[in-house]
């Protein structure tokens, strides 16, 4: 079973954004363009004639809040645009939204900490030098299995 090669991540993102813009879906295009698209490793599912691929969009909080809601019209516009530009012989598997990490320098760390508000350590709590592990929120929107 021959399969067309997937375009580069940035080309898929730009093509989907252009598709949205040409259809007048500018708000969806802006949300998409605020993100970075990462295409996962292709895979075959048992009984499928097409390869599947998972996609992850990583972006700012505003984009994450929209993309994690699979009922949001902008989310549906973005998924439809991506499905439109992925080669025909591919399936969209999992579509995931992820909040972006921020780059900080040591001086900015203090400013970020102070803008987060006062810290009220509880007696017997974590020491000043230990930091609890905080997981980045990740939302898997759908195991789509839709034809691309």
pLDDT at 43: 64
Tell me the pLDDT tens digit for each residue of 78-96: 999 998 988 877 777 788 8
Say which residue, 110 or 14, is predicted with more confidence. 14
pLDDT at 81: 94
Tracing tokens 């400013």 back to the chain, one arrives at 111
Q: Compute the Cα dihedral for 72, 142, 86, 31 and give only its sign.
A: positive
Say which residue, 25 or 110, is predicted with more confidence. 25
Q: Which residues contact 35 (CB under 8 A, 6 or more apart)?
A: 13, 57, 58, 59, 63, 67
Write down the domain spans for the chain: 1-100+140-148
pLDDT at 18: 98
pLDDT at 14: 96
Q: What is the mean pLDDT of residues 96-117?
A: 72
Lowest mean pLDDT among 11-20, 31-40, 117-126: 117-126
* Assigned fold of 1-100+140-148: GMP Synthetase; Chain A, domain 3 (3.30.300)
> Alpha-carbon distance 122 to 58, whole Å?
34
Q: How confident is the model at residue 146 (pLDDT cuts 50, 70, 90)?
A: very low
**Sequential DSSP letters for 97-144:** EEEPP----HHHHHHHHHHT----PPTT---TT-----PPPEEEEEEE
Instruction: Write down the mean pLDDT value for the chain.
Output: 76
């Amino acid at each position: 079973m021959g399969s067309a090669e997937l375009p580069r991540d940035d080309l898929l993102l730009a093509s989907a954004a252009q598709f949205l813009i040409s259809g007048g879906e500018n708000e969806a295009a802006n949300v998409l363009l605020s993100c970075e698209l990462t295409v996962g490793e292709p895979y075959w599912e048992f009984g499928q004639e097409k390869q599947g691929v998972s996609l992850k969009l990583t972006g700012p909080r505003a984009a994450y809040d929209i993309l994690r809601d699979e009922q949001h019209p902008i989310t549906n516009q973005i998924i439809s645009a991506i499905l439109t530009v992925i080669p025909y012989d591919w399936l969209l598997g999992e579509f995931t939204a992820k909040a972006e990490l921020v780059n900080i320098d040591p001086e900015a760390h203090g400013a970020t900490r102070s803008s987060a508000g006062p810290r009220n350590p509880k007696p017997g709590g974590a020491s000043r030098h230990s930091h609890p592990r905080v997981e980045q929120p990740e939302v898997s929107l759908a195991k789509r299995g839709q034809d691309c």
